Amino acid sequence: MPINFHFWRPFLKRALLTLALMSSSGLSAVAGGVRITNHGHSSLLIKGGGQSVLLNPFKAVACATGLKEPRLRANVILASSELADEGARVAQGVFLVKPGSYRINGLQIEGFTAPHDRFGGRRYGLATLWQWTQAGLRFAHLGGAAAPLTEEDKVLLGRPDVLFIAVGGGAKTYDGLEAAMVVRDLKPKRVIPVQYVRGTPSRDCDQFGIQPFLDAMKGTEVRKVSKTLFLRKELSNQTVINIMR
């Protein structure tokens, strides 16, 4: 019996439209989860739960030399500091850099002060550590810290589902061993390393590559992913390191 395409056409169009809406790159990229896009250095865009959060927009200087500046639009921008390579005002959105408790469009965000160096902040001042829940996932952003976490920090940050953490070392961010100690303290489900050198560093960059961190985290599962990572609300309890392209 031949298929009557004219009869089925309205149903097919409706189904295709539904699929297109479900697979669109909007804020509900993953039902009950998020889509994370890497823009280099420590700048990432997290979309999900009707919100978009941009981390550490930068000017292409120092260790970010040669990268495309993330001139994006987001609901909220969370910067570790006002240093040019992690807190440049090149993106559009509500820009937060000072510690405090914020509620923006239903998104609850907490910022905590931490030294941006290993000398109590005497060299690079203070950074802000960020914690928030988005699309059912608990996030912690430690993209610009160098000092060990205090017991109070650990309590405030809790156990993140997703931890963004600098690992490249240098004067103002964790090196591989320091970052590994933080990961072991917080026991996140997913770790996304940031602020490390890929290839040959520029002359005014004092950071290193990711390998020292991976060596310090030996035995932890490592997954290399693309520039975009989709995470669902339900994550396994074991720690997994996601290296983003």
Q: How far is CA 198 from CA 31, 37, 62, 144, in A?
A: 33, 17, 13, 18
Task: Give the model's pLDDT for residue 16.
Answer: 45
Task: Give the model's pLDDT for residue 117.
Answer: 95
Q: Is residue 2 part of a domain?
A: no
Task: Give the model's pLDDT for residue 196.
Answer: 97
Q: Is residue 3 part of a domain?
A: no
b/e 123-132 (16+ beta carbons within 10 angstroms → b):
ebebbbbbbb
Q: What is the CATH number of the domain that holds 106?
A: 3.60.15.10
Q: Is residue 240 part of a domain?
A: yes
Q: Is residue 53 part of a domain?
A: yes
Q: Is residue 228 part of a domain?
A: yes
Stretches where the chain sits below pLDDT 70 are 1-31
Q: Is residue 7 part of a domain?
A: no
Q: Is residue 177 part of a domain?
A: yes
To which residue do tokens 């865009």 refer? Answer: 45
Q: Is residue 16 part of a domain?
A: no
Count: domains in the chain = 1
Task: Give the model's pLDDT for residue 89.
Answer: 98
The boundaries of the domain holding residue 131 are 27-244
As a whole number of angstroms, the distance between CA 226 and CA 233 comes to 19
Question: 211: part of which helix (H) or strand (E)?
Answer: helix 211-216
Q: What global pTM score does this model have?
A: 0.87
